Every structure is written in C-alpha cells, then in structure tokens.
Structure 1
Amino acid sequence: MKEKERISNLEELMAESLMRLDRLDDGQQRLEGRMFNLDHNMLELAKNQIKLNDRQSSLQENMSTLIQVVRKNSNDIGGIRDDFGGIKDEIGGTKDEIGGIRDDIGGIKNDIGGIKDEIGGIKDEIGGTKGDIGDIKDDILDIKDKISEMSTKEGVSNLFEAMMNGFDRVDKRFDSMQ
C-alpha cells in the first residue's frame, strides 16, 4: 500500500504542480498583455512629452515676443509723455505771447482814445477858426483812415481774445488728462 500511497501522493503533487503551472501560464499571459499595454502607454506618453516640449518652446517664443512688444510700448508711452510735456510748454509760451498781444491791443485802444480826443480838438478848431477848410478836410480824412485802421485792429483784438479762450480750454483739457 505504500506504493499506491506514494503514487497517489505523487499524482497529487503532479496535479498541484500542473495547476500551478496553469496559473503561472495564465499569469504570464496577463503579464504579457499588461506589458503590451504598458508599452503602448509609454509610447503615448513619449508622444505627449514631445508635444509638450514643442508647445513649451512655442510658449517661450511667444513670451519673448510679448516682452519685446511690452518694452517697445513702454518706450513709446514715455516718448508720448515727453511730447505732451513739450506741447504743454509750447502752449504756455503761446499764452505768454498772446498776453503780450493783448497788452499791445490795450495800447492800440488807448491810441484810438487819443485819436478821438484829437478829432474832438480838430472839430473845435474847425468850429473856432476860419482857416483853410481844405487842409482841415485832409486832416480829417487822414484821421478817419487811422480810425478805420484801428477798427480793424479792434477786430483783430476780438480774434486774439477768442484764441486765448480756446487756448484756455485746451489747457484745462491737458490738466484734466494728468
């Protein structure tokens, strides 16, 4: 009986070994399938890594271009600020010049007042003297011409005053921009 038992034990061991081999074979097949999937996934990962590297390079180039544009715009804005400062200074100088013109116009107005007084004096002289009426007429015509010239200067005065008002509005705009 011992031999039968030994054979039986041996058969059991062989059966167990065969079952284990079957399980190992199944595990080996599953492992091969997983290895194939792992290889496929590694290949996809490598492709994605290449795409990522390309996109990062493109992003770096775009950022470099963006930085250059921002620097150029910053320099342009600085130039514009300087230009506005120069314009403001020029407007200030123009205001001073217009102020001088206003003073000149005030002097012209005073001259006109003097001429009016002279006309009044001449009128009195005409009435009080029996001098040469032709000479007096010429004097009056000369004075009339001077008055005509002064009235056009008064028109110029109004024009300069309107220009000053316009420059004042421009100054207010520039001040509100700052």
Structure 2
Amino acid sequence: MKERERISNLEELMAENLMRLDKLEVGQTVIHRSVTDLTKVVRKNSTDIEVLKTDVAYLKENMATKQMFASLLEAMVNGFDRTDKQFAKMHDEMVLLRQDVNILKAR
C-alpha cells in the first residue's frame, strides 16, 4: 500500500471517528438536557410531596374520628333523654296543678 493510500485511509477513519464523536456529543447534550429536566421535575415533586405531607398531618389532627362522632351522638342522645325526663316531670307537675285547680274550683 502506498503512503497516499494509507494517508487517505487514515483521513477517512479520522473523519468517520470525528462524525461519531459529533453524534456522541449531540447525544450527551440531549441526555444532559433530559437529566436537567428530570431534576427539575423531581424537585417540584419533592416540594409537592412535602406540602401534601403537611396537609395530611393537618387533616389527621383536625379530622373527626368515628369515636368522636360516637361520643357526640351519645352526648346528644343523653341531652335528649334529660330533656324528655324534664318534660315528663313538667307534665306530671301540670297534672297535679290541674288537680289542685279542680279541687279549688269545687270548693
């Protein structure tokens, strides 16, 4: 092989390698942009997750539980029972008062 052919082959190999390097560089740029975009998304998601954790903690502290509703219902029922007893007592007292009034009228 002559020197010119060798040089020509080397030039072709170098040109081919340079084109491959250019493609790799473009690929690296695309990958770098993708990683940067992914990092931004992860950071935003992390912030959103922290906000959600705070919201969940707040809801846990401030939400009424089944036990709280059961206690409220029991207190309301007890209140109604007391009121019913008071009305029954008032009714009995009114009956007695009517009897007294009738006795007084009869005199």
Q: List aligned pairs for 1:33-72, cutoff 5 A.
A: 33-63=33-63, 66-67=64-65, 70-71=69-70
Q: Which of the pair has more CA radius of gyration?
A: 1
Residue of structure 2 in register with 1:15 after alignment:
15
Structure 1 residue 5, shift from structure 2 partner: 4.4
Higher relative contact order (CA 8 A, sep 6+): 1
The Cα shift of 1:24 comes to 0.4
Q: Which runs of 5+ in 2 are unaligned?
A: none
Which residue of structure 2 lines up, in the alignment, with residue 100 of structure 1?
A: 99
Amino acid at match of 2:36: F
Taking structure 1 as the reference length, what is the TM-score of the superposition? 0.49
In structure 2, what is the Cα distance between the partners aligned to 1:106 and 1:52? Answer: 76
Count of aligned pairs between the two proteins: 105
Partner of 1:84: 83
What is the rounded CA distance, in whole Å, between the counterparts of 2:91 and 2:105 in structure 1? Answer: 21
Find the aligned partners of 2:25 and 2:37 in 1 and give their Cα distance.
Answer: 18
Q: Taking structure 2 as the reference length, what is the TM-score of the superposition?
A: 0.75
Which digits, 9 at most, give the CA deviation of each residue in 1:33-77, with x for residues without a partner? Answer: 2222222322222222222111111111111xx337645532431
Residue identity in the other structure for 1:91: M
The amino acid that maps onto 2:85 is G
Structure 2: distance between partners of 1:57 and 1:84: 39
Q: Distance in 1 between matches of 2:46 and 2:96?
A: 76
